[in-house]
Structure formats: structure tokens, C-alpha cells
A and B are shown apart, each in its own frame.
With several copies, the nearest count.
Chain A
Amino acid sequence: MPELVIANLFNPPVLFFLLGALAVTVRSDLDLPQPIPRLLSLYLLLAIGFKGGVVLRQSANEQALWALAIASALSAVMPLYMFWLLRRKLDQPNAAALAATYASVSAVTFITASAFLDQIGHGYSGFMVAGLALMEWPAIITGLFLARLGERPSQNAAGMSIAKLLHESLTNGSVLLLLGSLAIGLLAAPRAAETLKPFTEGIFYGALSLFLLDMGMVAARRADVLRRLGLSLVAFAIGLPLVNAAIGLIVARLISLTSGDALLFVVLCASASYIAAPAAMRHAVPEADPAIYVTLALGVTFPLNVTVGIPLYMSAIQSLW
């Protein structure tokens, strides 16, 4: 485990994340103004989707489809237990939004985990990218049901119908780009896939490093909001990913994923969405406060996962597989 933590921490993308956090801490004027971060995140989604599609074409099999179906179902039920827990501290809309956020997934955490596997020379298959896409929205739908639980239909004037929400979450820019790139990777001729490699793979780690530099700054800037939110919510933001990772670990073992795929799956379970789910929640559950669900996902859970979470989950897998 310690050597995995070190291997991860000496991974340049993670170091750049820490550099970004440092920059904010020492009040540097370092800044990546918009739309640079947007460009990098679109690039990362395109690249990971395309790569996943290319690999999926070669390696799709029945077991993978089963795994994806189970991942999807897991994302749909996970909000339930978290909602029940969170209701002790939060009102209904906020508990529902937070549960949805944590049951949904973070693409960049996934990408960092696959970079980690690359660094330690550990294989994994492409189909988990599809999992990334498929675990995004069931949690969102469940979250919306929870937010409306017990509500009279007439009240939700500000809210949205399920059909609208499904549309919203499937047409969310990141989801669409990821799914679209996956499909394009699946369809592309091998020769074409080869010519895209310098773009989708060559500069990938560099772009990830630059993006994580920015994410380090963004996460660190949320620190003062964190103080306002209080310790018990921060404890949730540390505890929930660990519990979710444990759930993911058990499921991965039951469906006999390889250890590389298991890590990616566990990371999906442990990660919290800070793009698609918050975007959907803001539309669909306007009563919930993004200062809570975005700040915890971005300011606590994301840093936790990319720095110590990934190697922790990997060492758990190594001792169980």
C-alpha cells in the first residue's frame, strides 16, 4: 500500500493537482482562465471515450455486458442508502441531490485511475468506459424521485418531469460527448483509430496534468465554503466514498472482474459526479444548494480519491484478488 500511494503521488498528473492546490494556498495569481479548462475537459472526454470505443470493439463480450448492466443497476440503488443516512443532517432536496451526486460518477477520477494503472503497468479493458457513461444517469433519476418523495404533484412547478430529466441528463454535454466518442471509436476503421492516436493517447497525460493543475486550484478555492458547511458534512464526504468503494469491491469480486477493471469499477463507485449530476440537479431540484453538493464532491471527495483513494483501493484489490 505505501509504495502504491507513493507511485500514485509521484504520478505527474497527481503532482500537478497538488501544485494547483498549493498555488491557491500561497495566494499565487496562477490562473487558467475559461475556456482553457473547458477545452481540456472536452478533450479528455473525447479521448477517453474514443479509446474506450476502440478497445471495446476488440474486447466486447458477454461478461462485460453483464458487468455494465450491474454497474448501471448499482448506480440506481446506491442513492437510497445515502439518502437515508443524509436525511439525518439535511433537508429532503439537499439529501437527495447529494445522494445522487455520490452515486453518480466522476470522469476525471476515472481517467486519473486509468493513468495510474498505465503508470504501474497494470492492464485493464476498454469496456469500463461504457460503465462510466452508464453509471452517470441512473443515480440522477433515483435522486429526483427521492427529492420528490411525498410531494403533491401540484407543488413541483419549478421541477421537471422524468422524461425531461432523462432528456436533460442524456443530452448533458459531457455525457453526449463521452457516449458519442465511444460510438465513434467503435465505428472507426482501425487505420483511422491509428491516425488519431497521437491526439487521443500521445498528449493525453500532458493534457490531464494541465487539467488537474486547474482542478487543484478549483478544489482549493472551495476550502472556505467547506469551513462554512461544517465537520459532519465533510465527514460524510470522506466516509461515503469509502463505503461506496467497499460496496464496489464486493460487487467486482462477485462478478469476477479482472483486478485492473475492478479498480476502475471501484473508483467509479467511490467517485462523486461534479459535472453531469450537479448540472441535472440544478435544473431539476432547484431547492437544493449547489454550495453543498458541488463543494463536497469537488473540494473533498475528488482530492481524496485522486491522491490516496486510488492506491488504497488498488492495494485492497491486490490483497483480495
Chain B
Amino acid sequence: MRPIKRVEIITDSVEMTHVIRVLEQQGVSGYTLIDSVVGRGERGMRRGDDPSGAFQNSYLITTCEPEQIEALVAVIRPILQRRGGICLVTDSWWLRH
């Protein structure tokens, strides 16, 4: 097992496609997405119940090398600033297969 940064991002579903594009440009090796999660934050309750999807959150998990994290954070921050949501970074170990 080797150390890795576990990055999780929760934000607008519509913004998530943007987030993913940016992650791929940074060369992340993969990601996992939960399309629709309920949440509450600064913008109040977001249930994903309206037909336009305007109040729907998605939840994304990805990983990156410790040395990559600064660059990643730099591209994610402006998106969250514009649209809200959170990004948590946790030290983990990756079971290399």
C-alpha cells in the first residue's frame, strides 16, 4: 500500500461535469460518482426534487498523488467559489493491485 490523497467533492450536479473535465485535465487516474445526494449547506436544503435538477448535488470521490494535490486544489477552488459545495482531502493508503 502506498500513501495517496483521497479527495471528495460535493457540489451542484450541473457543475460536476465541469469538475470532472478539470480533473481529467489534471490527469487523475479515475473517479467514482454518486449522481444524486441530498444536502444542506450555505445555500439551504438541496433535495434534487425539482424537475430541472437545479437543486441537485452530486458526490465525487477521486484520488491523487500527494505532490499533485496543490495543483488540483487550485483548479477546484474557483468552481466551488462560484457554485458552492465542499471539497475534503484526506490522507489514505491505496492498495496497489
Contacts and interface: CB of A to CB of B under 8 A. Distances in A.
Q: In the complex they form, do A and B come into direct contact, defined as C-beta atoms under 8 angstroms apart?
A: yes
Interface of A: 33-34, 37, 41, 158, 215, 217-218, 221-222, 225, 274-276, 278-279, 282-283, 286, 290-291, 294, 298
- Residue among B50, B52, B53, B55 having the largest count of chain A Cβ atoms under 10 Å: B52
Contacts of B35: 33
A274 B14 contact: no
Given A158-B82, A282-B14, A290 B54 contact: yes
A282 B13 CA distance: 11
Nearest to A222: B50
A41 B53 CA distance: 13
B49 A294 contact: no
A298 B50 contact: yes
A221 B50 CA distance: 10
12 contacts: A34-B48, A37-B51, A218-B49, A222-B50, A225-B44, A278-B52, A279-B52, A279-B53, A282-B12, A282-B52, A286-B83, A290-B55
A23 B92 CA distance: 40
A218 B53 CA distance: 12
Contacts, number: 47
B62 interface: no
Contacts of A218: 49-51
Chain A, interface SS category: helix
A221 B49 contact: yes
Interface string B1-37: 0000000000010100000000000000000000110
Interface of B: 12, 14, 35-36, 43-44, 47-55, 82-83
| Among B36, B43, B50, residue most surrounded by chain A Cβ atoms (within 10 Å) | B50
A276 B43 CA distance: 22
A37 B35 CA distance: 16
Given A282-B14, A282-B54, A294-B54, A37 B82 contact: no
B36 A34 contact: yes
B89 to A, nearest CB: 25
B22 to A, nearest CB: 13
A57 B49 CA distance: 35
A100 to B, nearest CB: 13
A37 B50 CA distance: 9
Nearest to B82: A286
Q: Which of B12, B14, B83 has the most CB of A within 10 A?
A: B14
Contacts of B55: 290, 294
A274 B82 contact: no
Nearest to A172: B52
Contacts of A279: 14, 52-54
A274 B44 contact: no
The 5 closest A-B pairs by CB, nearest first: A290-B54, A278-B52, A294-B54, A275-B52, A275-B51
Nearest to A287: B82
Contacts of B44: 225, 291
Nearest to A101: B52
A202 to B, nearest CB: 24
A99 B49 CA distance: 23
A220 to B, nearest CB: 11
A221 B47 CA distance: 10
A222 B49 CA distance: 10
Nearest to A217: B49
A253 B82 CA distance: 46
